[in-house]
Structure 1
Amino acid sequence: MYHNPSSLEQDLWNNWINDKNSKNANELIHHYEYLVHFHVERMCIHLPKSINKEDIKSLGFIGLYDALKKFEPNRDLKFDTYASIRIRGSIIDGLRKEDWLPRSLRDKVKKVDQATQSLEQKYQRSPNPEEIAKYSGLTVEEVENTIKDSLFSNILSIEEKSKTDYVQETGIGYSIADDSSQSPESKILQKELEKELKEGIKELNEKEQLVISLFYFDELSLTEIGQVLELTTSRISQIHKKAIVKLRKTLNKLKYLSHVNGQ
């Protein structure tokens, strides 16, 4: 692994690598559960009080277990950093799927958003809580609490949009058609192209392979990859773009196949 683990930690990992049973998994989960508690406490600061912290912890442990299953000790990564990203991602995904904003809060968020947009157009600046309260018919306290409680919802939207935008901007996003909708010939061709893509990835240097793997297969953002590899986001972006130049020909073939199958 990327750092020098303690003898206990190394023993736990050796046990898991040699036998991926539930006992060895639980021992590692217990060893790293402090990461779940840390991120739950940090993230709950931004959540409405109506959200059950134990539910958030459950999402965090799902992320930790997912990290354990997917982590490859021979890769040049720190597990605690990788796991932290997985834990946080699992919590965010869970909150997004559960649609956790209460209806009453959702209505207030809508009022505050509408008031903010109207006042920004009127004054050509960001309105203060008092102005928003007067316009929306809410109290100043309600406006401030609504802004605070909806903050995490905005973060979820921003994080989801930022990655989608990046993939679209670089022109490298692609999807492979569902197997159930493909002809036998298309399936054979797809397998051949997937094999070609894997061979193309092997031609990349170690750092490029790692960035491509973390971005497309582990689905980390460039910022998260930077945290894992201890490099700046701009440096990760450079590595990523250089790798894509090498892979573009193969990726375009896959994109074309997806387009043909989707017709």
Structure 2
Amino acid sequence: MEAGIIALWHTYGESKDQTVRDRLVLHYAPLVKYVAGRVGTGLPAHVDVADLIQSGIFGLVDAIEKFEPERGLKFETYAMQRIRGAILDDLRSQDWVPRSVRSRARDVERALERLGARLQRTPTDRELAAELKIGLGELRELYAQLQLTSVVALDELIAAGRSAGGAGSSLAESLPDEGAEDPIATLVDQDSRRQLADAIAQLAERDRVVVTLYYFENLTLAEIGKVLGVTESRVCQLHTRAVLRLRTKLNEQLES
């Protein structure tokens, strides 16, 4: 099988034949399903994973057409970045997040900043709810509403403060592959990875576990739920909370 794929790549490199490209698309299609499934686990139930897969296919085609084997990069790693980028771009263009939800997300981030500065530590959910003048249950319902904003957030956390790469460039598209096996790790350079690690280290233990397992160990939300002994919906809330807190901490680093 490996020899066959190498031959396909060689043929496509010489001819750019669409039929050969389509055979490559079919071979790597499981990557799209995998990435779409991972992105979809952090989205509200009304978001159809089939739509994410359709967007991801465009990303896969783009990856095949732009891939340069002579650079020595692993195609699967490169393709997963392009697929994820295509899916997130489609989510942004659809603007599935209501304006009121975006406003509430900003309210939560500002409250986290105020409390963090005042307490000199990560605030608890109860403290955050009190700052927002809402109940603890209402805060957790708010986390559920903010799920969609948290999915696109991590891809932009470091990129938001960077001037390099050009306007409109995503972090996944602008940074070189370092030969790392983890596709998420290739999205950040050494300095950015240090900033991200510092911010993660400041999170509460459970938030830190969720971020680490989801983004760096490639566990699904359901699998993380089994590790923590909680439901998948609760992990989804924890994931949203963790990303909001992480974004707040990274913004503080960028401003300091």
Report the TM range for the smaller structure's normalisation. Answer: 0.5 to 0.7
Measured in 1, the distance between the counterparts of 2:190 and 2:120 equals 33
Question: Residues of 2 paired with 1:159 and 1:100: CA distance?
Answer: 23
CA distance in 1, matches of 2:58, 2:20: 16
CA shift, 1:26, in A, is: 1.4
Contact 1:35–1:84 (Cα < 8 Å) also in 2: yes
Contact 1:226/1:233 (8 A) holds in 2: no
Find the aligned partners of 1:133 and 1:33 in 2 and give their Cα distance: 43
TM-score for the superposition, normalised by structure 2: 0.58
1:64-109 deviation per Cα after TM superposition (whole angstroms, max 9, x unaligned) = 1111101123332221122112112222333333333223422432
Match of 2:130 in 1: 134
Q: Choose which of 42, 47, 53 in structure 1 pairs with 2:43.
A: 47
> Which residue pairs with 2:67 in the alignment?
71
C-alpha displacement of 1:233: 4.6
Label 1:138 to 1:12 Cα distance change in 2 as closer, same or farther (>3 A): farther
C-alpha spacing 1:153/1:143, structure 2 compared with 1 (3 Å): farther
Query: 1:234 deviation in Å?
Result: 4.3
Distance 1:133 1:37, change over 3 A: same
Give yes or no for contact 1:116–1:132 (8 Å, CA) kept in 2: yes
Aligned runs of 1:244-263 on 2, under 5 Å?
A: none
Whole-Å Cα distance in 1 between the matches of residues 157 and 78 of structure 2? 21
- Is contact 1:115-1:136 (8 Å) kept? yes
What letter corresponds to residue 72 of structure 2 in structure 1? D
Report matched runs for 1:115-130 at 5 Å: 115-130=111-126
The answer to whether the aligner puts 1:221 opposite 2:175 as a matched pair is: yes
CA gap 1:227/1:157 in 2 versus in 1, 3 angstroms: same
Structure 1 residues not aligned, in runs of 5+: 168-172, 176-214, 238-263
Shift of 1:30: 0.6
> Alpha carbon RMSD of aligned pairs, Å?
3.6
Answer whether contact 2:52 2:87 (CA < 8 A) is retained: yes
Matched, 1:151 2:183: no
Q: Tell me the equivalent position of 2:236.
A: none
TM-score calculated relative to the size of structure 1: 0.57
Distance 1:46 1:22 in 2: 34
1:163-242 equivalent positions in 2, closer than 5 A: 164-165=162-163, 167=164, 219-222=173-176, 224-227=177-180, 233-234=189-190
When the two structures are aligned, how many residues end up with a matched partner? 184
CA, structure 1 residues 48+115, in 2 after alignment: closer, same or farther (shift >3 Å)? same
Aligned partners of 2:154, 2:77: CA distance in 1, in Å? 20
5+ residue gaps, structure 2: 194-256
Q: More relative contact order in 1 or in 2 (CA 8 Å, sep 6+)?
A: 2
Write the distance in 1 (CA, Å) between the matches of 2:138 and 2:152.
17
